[in-house]
Amino acid sequence: MTANRTNLTNLTDVTNLTDVTARIGHFTNPGNDADADADAGTMARLRERLLEEATRESLLDVAYRTLDSPVGPLLLAATPEGLVRVAFAAEGHDAVLVELAERVSPRVLHAPRRLDRAVRELDEYFAGRRRGFEVPLDLRLARGFRRVVLDRLQDIAYGATASYTDVAAAAGSPKAVRAVGTACATNPVPLVVPCHRVVRSDGSLGNYGGGVDAKRALLSLEDSR
């Protein structure tokens, strides 16, 4: 293990922290349960050391973690500016991490504590104790009209819904109904920016990145409070 540790002593040369954490995962090859327990502890310490050194050297651009929720496992990611991504399992968490590395920064690291506030607020939301989110957002992944739509989505109150047509009008482009649908479908921070509150003009749910069942569950949660 001593030889492996030397690989982490010079993090100033690291450009892709995702690759580094992947290498940590290959440092050990447990042969029994006792070895597995010991190696898990060693890996946890190595990850913690990597996080500390990456933070000290300003190498951590995107922190991520997962969260079990009533609508399935969620991937949460944040930059120093704020929450940049919330992803459902249906989106493929690995694919989302690759997207973040390509569109934000390759310096992506599993750093759960960086997401503590987002986790706390989401837990409160699912428990019915929170109706709005205060966690800072980094909406760099939404540009142009899509960003305008996200701003308008945040005006839809807890327990209320709006049609795609309503949102298009509120965004200043009444005819851009399909573009509103695209903006909702590509919302980088669903739940926190509530695209689940946008429904079709006939009252039917419409599509949702987390699946129609998840959309129905979220609207039911809000309607019951």
Catalytic (active-site) positions:
195
DSSP string for the chain: -HHHHGGGS-GGG-S-HHHHHHHHHTS----SHHHHHHHHHHHHHHHHHHHHHHHHTT---EEEEEE--TTS-EEEEEETTEEEEEEEGGG-HHHHHHHHHHHT-S-EEE-GGGGHHHHHHHHHHHTT--SS--S-B--TT--HHHHHHHHHHTTSPTT--EEHHHHHHHTT-TT-HHHHHHHHHT-SSTTTS-GGGEE-TTS-----TT-HHHHHHHHHHHHT-
Can you tell me the distance from the alpha carbon of 168 to that of 47, in angstroms, rounded to the nearest whole number? Answer: 45
217 CA to centre of own chain: 19
DSSP string for 77-131: EEETTEEEEEEEGGG-HHHHHHHHHHHT-S-EEE-GGGGHHHHHHHHHHHTT--S
